[in-house]
Structure 1
Amino acid sequence: MYHENAFNQWKRHCFSKVDFSKKGTIDDEIYPVVCLINDSSNYFTTSSCSGRIILIDGVLGLQKASGNAVFKFEPFVLHVQCKDIESAKLLHSVAVNSGFRNSGMSVGKRGKIIMAVRSTHCLEVPLSHQGEILVNENYIHFLVQIANQKMAENVTRIKRFYDGLQAVIQADGSSSMATCKDKTTKIVQNQHQRKTQDSVIEDSQIPANKFSDSEDYLESSLILFS
């Protein structure tokens, strides 16, 4: 197992890197979670996504689809590097108890311990094949409703994960909770001020070809539990 100094060095290096994702910033919906983790001496995040509803095709919009368009809902995913096995097990327990039951841990060649927080309530439906639309408008509306329901559940699980994480991190005293308190408060206040319909994706708002975001790919890993 690597020395604690190596973990701290990896953490500093990670924070010094440029965010190459298309958005370039952490999603507001999960900023409190990411900040809480990064403020702890036992963890730091390597990649994250709050969840998204997307239409994937080579061009913009289903009506112009020239290939195989796919409608997808992808739930919250978070990759966290942990200082030791015990810290990873604790994070895994919180994730599973919060509904992210597909979470698991990997150990790389150099001793990097990565916890992946993820769930299985995804949605992936083909809408066209070689440019031919396979479904009608009513079915697309139905898919959007299902995806929004999944997104609402996704938000609930994130909140549950944050509450559980806050409890265990405060209990072990590994976080000062001071560095991100002000910004987290502002973000939470802004979220409460938004109307419910602001988070609902209408058919015309579904973005196309919005796949990117960095992931922490381990060169070689051992799955300890999932």
Structure 2
Amino acid sequence: MDRRAEFSRWKAQCLSKADLSRKGSVDEDVAELVQLLNGREQFFTTSSCAGRIILLEASISGFDVQKQNCCWLLVTHKPCIKEDVIVALKKANGDTVLKFEPLVLHVQCRQLQDAQILAVRSTHGLEVPLCHKGKLMVTEEYIDFLLKIANQKMEENKKRIERFYNCLQHALEREAITNSHPKGKVNEKNNSYSRRKKRNREKARGKCITEENDKELEKDDPDISVLIFPEDY
């Protein structure tokens, strides 16, 4: 069996399995993105999260919370209010941490060049300890302040998902056009100038899209590193 057929078989097998996430379904804000990827033969998603605010209870080692060995006191994919956090904290007996986690998308790709299209990294998160051994270490006013930040990050995260979707869709459309029009050797000399001019325009356009996307994201997060299109894409 060749690699293409093997990948297709593996994709069909994985997508036919039941959703084992806590929620049991794809988050609404990322459903269109997941559908776009799974609709292409070179990709399939294995897990996803549109972004969430969570309150975890676990032992803390250097502020590193291991989610596999903790209790989820609160989880929401929507804006959160202070009262919900205060109620959840009353259940805590150990150390608790409030976290905001942005979009997470795990994708299997058929080959390296497909994976390069999806290469995106971000530090758009939040993680703050609130309790130690069941004792609240901060004021309710501070919790309200943290939630305003977390909710702002949630809204920004939605905008980033939309921008990523649009950039990805554009990249895949360009790839499809390129694959459907392979380079030929007929009239190579006569057409070399027009092709070179076209490539320069496309390269400039791609660079502009990437740079604009980078700048827009970096306004809110100076530590972000983004690569939507490879340099020679």
Q: TM-score, normalised by structure 1?
A: 0.63
CA distance in structure 2 between the partners assigned to 1:40 and 1:59 by the alignment = 35
Task: Specify every segment of 5 or more residues in structure 2 that has no aligned partner in the other structure, as ranges.
Answer: 58-70, 74-87, 178-233
Q: Is the 8 A contact 1:76 1:154 kept in 2?
A: yes
Tell me what 2:22 maps to. 22
Identity among equivalent positions (%) equals: 50
Deviations 1:11-39 (A, max 9, x none): 01111111111111100100110000000
Instruction: Give SS of 2:99's match.
Output: strand
Q: TM-score, normalised by structure 2?
A: 0.61
Task: Specify every segment of 5 or more residues in structure 1 that has no aligned partner in the other structure, as ranges.
Answer: 96-101, 103-118, 175-226
Tell me what 2:13 maps to. 13
Report the Cα offset of residue 59 of structure 1. 7.6
**Structure with greater helix percent:** 2
- Between 1:64-73 and 1:131-140, the stretch displaced more is 64-73
Summarize the alignment of residues 118-197 of structure 1 with structure 2, pairs less than 5 Å apart: 119-173=122-176
For these two proteins, the number of residue pairs brought into alignment is 149
Moved over 3 A (4+): none
CA distance in structure 2 between the partners assigned to 1:141 and 1:132 by the alignment = 18
Tell me the C-alpha RMSD between the 2 structures. 1.6
- Larger-Rg structure: 2
Higher relative contact order (CA 8 A, sep 6+): 1
Change (3 A) 1:21 1:59: closer
Change (3 A) 1:44 1:59: closer
Matched, 1:81 2:108: yes
Instruction: Give SS of 2:90's match.
Output: helix
**What is the letter of the counterpart of residue 19 of structure 1?**
D
**What is the letter of the counterpart of residue 51 of structure 1?**
G
CA distance in structure 2 between the partners assigned to 1:43 and 1:91 by the alignment = 10
**What is the letter of the counterpart of residue 77 of structure 1?**
V
